[in-house]
Each structure stands twice: as C-alpha cells, then as structure tokens.
Amino acid sequence: MIYIIDHKDSFTHNVVHQFENFDDVTCDNYNDINENKLNKSKVIVFSPGPGSPKDYPVSSDIYKKFKGKKKIIGICLGFQQILHCEKGKIIEQRKIYHGYQSKIKVTSENSLFKKNRKFNVGRYHSLKLKEPFVAKNFEITMRCAISNVAMAIENNNEKIYGFQFHPESFLTENGNLLIKKILSA
Amino acid sequence: MIKKNYLQDLNNSKKPFIIYKAGKGFDLYTDFSKKIILTNNNIEKFINVDTQLKSKKKETDLFIGFFGYEILNNLIGVKVKRQKGLKFPKGIFYKPETKLKIPIKLDYKPIKIIKSNKLFKININRESYKLIFDKFKKKIKSGETYQIKICTKYSNKTQIDALDFFCRLVKSNMAPEAFMIKDKNYSIISCSPENLINKNNNFITTKPIAGTLKKTKKLNKIKALIFFKKNIKESKEHNMIVDMERSDLSRICKSGSVKILRKKIVEEYKDLYHYVSLIGGRLKDNISSLDIIKAMMPGGSVIGCPKISTLNLLNAQEKESRNIYTGSFGYIKSNGDMRFNIIIRSILNYKNNSEISVASGVVIDSNAKHEFNENYIKGKALMDLYK
C-alpha cells in the first residue's frame, strides 16, 4: 500500500489517481495521520502543497523516522521536504514557475532514467534548492534545461526519490512512466 | 408555449420566481411550495436528505437556489471571520411546483422605467488595491498561494426592477449560465458564463474559464486562440485551474476516469472570447451530493490556487462579506442529478441595496493598475443597467 501525505494542496488527488495505477493508495491530511496505515505502507509519498518545508514539522518527523526503512517519494513541496531534512536550503527564486511547462534534462549517469533525455514537465514552484547541495547517497539527477535548477533527486541506496516538477500534471509528458519506474526500483 | 404577457403578469403578481438559461431558451420556475434558508446547522441535511423527494420523475422534482460564499467555506472547514455587510442569508433554496420553458427573446416591458444616476461606491480604492496586491504578490513568492483573486465591490442604494434588468442584461451579454431570482425582499441577476457542476447519473463535468479577451473588429476565434496560446500569463493561469479542477474531480471520481474532454479551447460570446476547458469523470460508488459539493465548491477558478490556503489568505484580508459572489447557483434534482454555476457578473439587490462584486487574478506577472481597471470593466456592464 502507498501512503500519501496531503499538505492541503489542490493537486493531491491527481497524485492519488496517478499512484492508483500501480497499487492501493491511502491519502490523509498531514495533520490527520493514521499511524496504523502509515506503518503498514510500503511507500510514503509527500504531496505538493503551499508554503515551505519548515511549515510541516510533522512531515519532517515522518521522513526521519522512515528513511531507509520504506521507499519515500516527494513531489514539489514534498521534494523540498526531503531536501530540507537532508540539510538542504530552500530559497525563493527570482523567476516563479506556477502553471509553467518547461523542458528538463536527465543529467546523471546514475539515474534510473537515460542520461541526456529531455522532456516537458509541469511546474508549480516559487522556491528552489540552494546549491551546492551535498548529502550522503543523494544525487541531483534532473535539471531545468534552461536555468539548470535542480528538478529531481535520487537516492538509490535508501530508495528516496523526489521531483520538483509535477509528474501528475497534464503538462508533464510520460508522468505515469516516471512513477512506474520509481515504484519498481 | 407561454401566454402573451405571461412575464408581465407574473412580475406584477409579486410571486417569487426564478429564470435559468437552459438549452436554446430559459426555464422558468415558480409556485414555490417550500423555501429553505440555509445555515451551518441545516445545510448538510438539506443537501443529503431534504433534496431526496419521494417523487423523482417530474420536471419539478428538484430544489433550485444558491449557496453563498461563506457557507461554502464553512462547509469545507474554512473559517470566515466576522465581516461587515448586508446580513443577507447564506443560501436559499426553493421547491418549485411549476416549470415552464420560455423563449430566448424575453417578452417583458416594464410599466415604468426606473433609472438612477447615483454613483456607485467602491469598497477598495486604487491605493488600497495596490497595497493588497503587493501583499499577495509576496505570498506568491513565498509559495503560500500560486494565484489569488482580489475582490472589489461596488454598491448603491436604489430600487430596481429585476426582470427589466435581466432582460436588458441578457440582450447585451447572454451567457450560458445566466439566471435571475426574484423574491419579496431581494433579487439576483447574473450573466455567469461558468458551469461548475453538471452531473447526470454517475457522470460529472466542470467547465472552468480562465482567460477573457474583449472582442475587437480585428479579432476572430482563431486569432483569439493564438493570443491565449502566446500569452504566457493567461496560459499559466489556465493550466493551474485545469490541474486544480482535475484534482477536485479526482477526489470523488473513479481512479483513471478523470479526463480533459476539451483542452484549452476558445468560446465566443457577444462581446468577448473565453479560454475554456471541459473536464469530466465517472463518480465513485456511494458518493453523496454533499461529497460532490464539498469537493467542487467554492469553484476554484474564481478563488485561486491552492484552494484552502488561498481562501484563508482572502478571508484574512476581506473586511466585507462576499454574500452571493463566488458562491454557486443551480439545482439538485431528487434523483441526485445536479447543475451548478459560479455566481459572478451578478447583481444582488437586498432591501434596495445593490452590490456588484468583481475580481481578477494576481499571479506573479500581473500588474496592479491593469487588474484594477480590469475589475472596473467587468463591473461596468452591470452598472450601466442602472442608467
């Protein structure tokens, strides 16, 4: 079972439907966590949402508790939540991407995805990861083809994955394939 | 067909009635046997129980009316602090015993024409608008909202002939969700273009509008589409609304059934072009009318995104009640089918106080002066009816 933690976003149920393609999904609000279901789940997903990771200490605690024990996936705010827990700095960016379709590129040999592949994705973020960012076992594997901003992280050792863009958006090409690959990794 | 002078006689009889755009003409509802004034205490029972009449076959087996903005917030657990305003009911529904089809050309001539040259008061002037605008822009930068709609309100104290207003309004600004309500102490007149819920059996659609372009002689439908596609700001706003409505529907629909049926098309109206999408899905089993209303209302395209945090920002800011504005008007049939719009481009006249609210969106690249003027243009067609 996949447990999705909703940060009161207006895109979360797109994420739910996307993951339901592959497994049973339970989705609860971050301030209404069902411990029993959370413990039983195989995968934890941190949803997109407004604000910044420091607004959601409950999600940070869950991340730290289950890191290395379950597969963890973060989308947009969820991606930043993972980075925040790994001592990454999340900062405002000058150009803001809300409802924006842009090209991103796979930049690492070690990614589950083929290096140099480019594709269109939907983006909804005003914040970004401040670089350089270094954390054990983590690698930035995708970047914005124009601005070079970090778009994905992969930690294949501990099975932690994050996307700054929205795989569930109608603006993203092959979003389902992306999730399928991460879930079967 | 209705009798000659039917509308005239109905209007003179002082009987409450409702007119709602349907198909090629209008439906008229009257002879109300029940009138339910909604409160936070009775709304859930109203939606899930009271609307379930025993008879489900007749054309009049339905409740028709409106939900105001505040009660829709409360329904999804969002608080609205005490606000100034008219103390107008939070929602009213009627059970009609008569439903008639009436032609698109409304046959009504007012006995005496009421005109008013009184100026409309605006609740937020240009300077305060700019302050709110800048404040919300900061909230966009910090990620608390991605898009937010600032509402301004024009008000006036005049008696109006609601039916005359409605006839003139639809003559110049016909819209697929146009409606009017006339009751003893209030009336609502609206040329809403936007359908929020259309539910038949287990199939549900929503048709958000994000993007409006005023018609000019040089424009046509194809050029309007090119304009919208090239305009990054309009595209981004529209994309956001499409993903948000997909998510609202996904909450109540079967997994994998939510589809964009018409993606980013242009619809042509008398004076403008709208950038529109149509999204639909198949409802999960055991979804109640209340579940549907809570998932879809208040309609996202007129609020901003994400819905909850944006509503909280708006409610902390707004000192005056929105009343009907950005609520929903429509009906729930006793078999569970429903049709609801989003109440915009509307006049509320309550105890001879008129209110016209308008809103336009703040995204990161909008401009305060432009949006303030945009609001004025949106309200002008309605204010002109008073002249």
B233 and B135 within one domain: no
The closest alpha carbon to A83, from A74, A71, A92, belongs to A74
Highest mean pLDDT among A168-172, B80-84, B157-161: A168-172
Q: What is the arithmetic mean of pLDDT over B98-125? A: 87
B262 and B115 fall within a common domain: no
Residue B334 pLDDT > 90: yes
Nearest to A13 among B145, B250, B300 (CB): B250
Do B23 and B165 share a structural domain?
yes
Average pLDDT estimate for B175-184: 97
| Shared-domain flag, residues B234 and B356 | no
- B246-265 core/surface letters (b: 16 or more CB in 10 A; e: else): bbbbbbbbbbebbbeeeebe
Q: Which residues are CB-neighbours of B258 under 8 A, at least 6 positions away?
A: A17, B246, B249, B250, B279, B280, B281
Token reading at B37: 């004034």
Q: Which of B249, B264, B279 is the last residue of a domain?
A: B279
Residues of chain B neighbouring A12 (CB-CB closer than 8 A): 247
Token digits of residue B186: 């209030």
Domain shared by B378 and B258, yes or no:
no
3-state secondary structure of B222: helix
Query: Quick one: pLDDT at residue B375?
Result: 82
Q: A99: nearest CA in chain B?
A: B236
Query: How far apart (Å, rounded) are the C-alpha atoms in residues B100 and B83?
Result: 39
For B226-285, how does the pLDDT look when each residue is reduced to its tens digit (9 = 90+)?
999 999 888 999 999 999 999 999 999 999 999 999 999 999 887 789 999 999 999 999
Which H, E and C letters describe B92-109, residue by residue? EEEEEEEEEEECCCCCCC
Q: What is the pLDDT of residue B366?
A: 80
Same structural domain, B254 and B336: no
* Complex ipTM value: 0.97
Instruction: Return the structure tokens found at A131.
Output: 């670089």
Range of the domain at B232: 208-279
- Which among B187, B290, B286, B301 is positioned nearest to B243, based on CA atoms? B301
- Taking CB atoms and an 8 Å limit, are B141 and A49 in contact across chains? no
| Residues in B touching A10 (Cβ below 8 Å) | 243-244, 247-248, 300, 305-308
HSE-up (13 A, CA, CB side) for residue A181: 14
Strand order through the sheet with A160-163: A25-29, A2-6, A43-46, A71-75, A160-163, A150-155, A139-144, A90-106, A118-129
Q: Give contacts of A92 with chain B, Cβ < 8 Å.
A: 141-142
Cβ-based contacts of A91 with chain B (< 8 Å): none
DSSP code, position B121 = E
Considering only the C-alpha atoms of chain B, give the largest distance between any 2 of them, rounded to a whole number of Å: 60
Across the interface, which of B237, B246, B309 has its CB nearest the CB of A8? B309
CB pairs < 8 Å spanning A and B: 104
Interface touch B363/A77, C-beta < 8 Å:
no
Distance CA B71, CA B91 (A): 7
- C-alpha torsion sign, points B383, B69, B201, A19: positive
CB A42 within 8 A of CB A1: yes
CB B212 within 8 A of CB B224: no
Q: Looking at the structure, do residues B62 and B193 belong to the same domain, yes or no?
A: yes
Q: What is the pLDDT of residue B233?
A: 87
For chain A, the residues whose C-beta falls within 8 A of a C-beta of chain B are 8-14, 16-17, 20-21, 49-52, 77, 92, 96, 98-101, 122, 124-127, 166, 169-171
> Where a domain ends, among B247, B279, B311?
B279
Cβ pair B90, B127 in contact under 8 A = no
Least confident of A89-93, B47-51, B172-176, B372-376: B372-376
Q: Which of A50, A52, A92 sits opposite B145 (nearest CB)?
A: A50
pLDDT for B1: 63
Distance of residue B328 Cα from the nearest chain A Cα, in angstroms = 19
Residues B352, B187: contact at Cβ < 8 Å?
A: no
Domain count, chain B: 2
Question: Is residue B239 less than 8 Å (CB to CB) from chain A?
Answer: yes
Q: B212 forms bridges with which residues in the sheet?
A: B274
H helices of chain B, in order, are 6-13, 43-45, 69-75, 126-141, 162-173, 221-230, 232-252, 289-296, 307-317, 368-383
Query: pLDDT for B260-269, tens place per residue?
Result: 999 999 998 8
* CA distances to B170, B171, B175 from B104, in Å: 9, 9, 11
Q: Does residue B1 belong to any structural domain of this protein?
A: no
Catalytic residues of A: 76, 166, 168
- Please indicate, yes or no, whether residues B214 and B90 belong to a single structural domain of this protein: no
Collect all residues of chain B within an 8 Å Cβ-Cβ radius of residue A101.
239
CATH number of B188's domain = 3.60.120.10
Three-state secondary structure call for residue B168: helix
Residue B160 and residue B218 share a domain: no
Interchain CB contact of B377 with A (< 8 Å): no
Neighbours of B98 (CB within 10 A): 14
Last residue of a domain, one of B237, B260, B279: B279
Tokens of A137: 């076992």
Asked if residue B247 and residue B191 are part of one domain, the reply reads no
Q: Does the distance separating the beta carbons of A13 and B237 come in below 8 Å?
A: no
> At a CB cut-off of 8 Å and minimum separation 6, what does A157 contact?
A137
Residue B272 or residue B42, greater confidence: B42
Same-domain pairing of B179 and B239:
no
Long-range pairs for B316-319: beta carbons < 8 A, 24 or more residues apart: B316/B81, B317/B132, B317/B135, B317/B136, B318/B83, B318/B151, B319/B83, B319/B84, B319/B123
The rounded percent of chain A whose pLDDT value lies above 90 is 98
User: Do B247 and A11 make contact, defined as CB atoms within 8 angstroms?
Assistant: yes
CATH class of A2-184: alpha beta
Same domain, B19 and B90: yes
Do A10 and B248 make contact, defined as CB atoms within 8 angstroms? yes
Q: Evaluate whether B42 touches B36 at the Cβ level (below 8 Å).
A: yes
Of residues A8, A101, A127, nearest to B308 (C-beta): A8
CA-CA-CA-CA torsion sign (B299, B89, B47, B333): negative
